[in-house]
Amino acid sequence: MASAAFLADTNVISELVRPRPNPGIEAWARQTNRLALSVVTVEEVFYGLARRPHIRVQRWFDQFVRQHCEILDVNREIAALAGDIRGRLARGGAVRSQSDMLIAATASYHDLTLVTRNSRDFEGCGIRVLDPSS
């Protein structure tokens, strides 16, 4: 299977599993055969499922990952880049979450476009961002 050009943020995966997803997200997903997910997104999905178990969502996610996703680990270089981005932004007064900066650094390291519904969370990170919901 071809390698991914996009890294999906957790909120995009959450949108896709809805009974009626945002039309823009749904249209983008239909055109995208393969995408990447950060292990951070995998953790966030499983955290949500542990808090509020939902068998349909669990099955959908497992099948979706098998068929469409490459899971990208956080290595030393990604962790260092995330810390650098987060620290630089904080120095300028923009506080960002560790999870978002790990996702941004993963996109940067692998030269992927981050697909998210929260593009403001990634401003100043030096990555390509796509919000197909707008």
Whether residue 117 is predicted with pLDDT greater than 90 in this model: the reply is yes
- Does residue 63 fall inside a structural domain? yes
Whether residue 21 is predicted with pLDDT greater than 90 in this model: the reply is yes
**CATH at 91:** 3.40.50.1010
Q: Could you list the residue range(s) of the whole structural domain that residue 83 is in?
A: 6-130
**This model's pTM is above 0.85:** yes
- Does residue 1 fall inside a structural domain? no
Cβ atoms of residues 7 and 72 within 8 Å: yes
d(CA 121, CA 100): 7
Whether residue 1 is predicted with pLDDT greater than 70 in this model: the reply is no
Tell me how many domains the chain contains. Answer: 1
Say how many Å lie between the first and final Cα of the chain, rounded: 29
- Does residue 120 fall inside a structural domain? yes
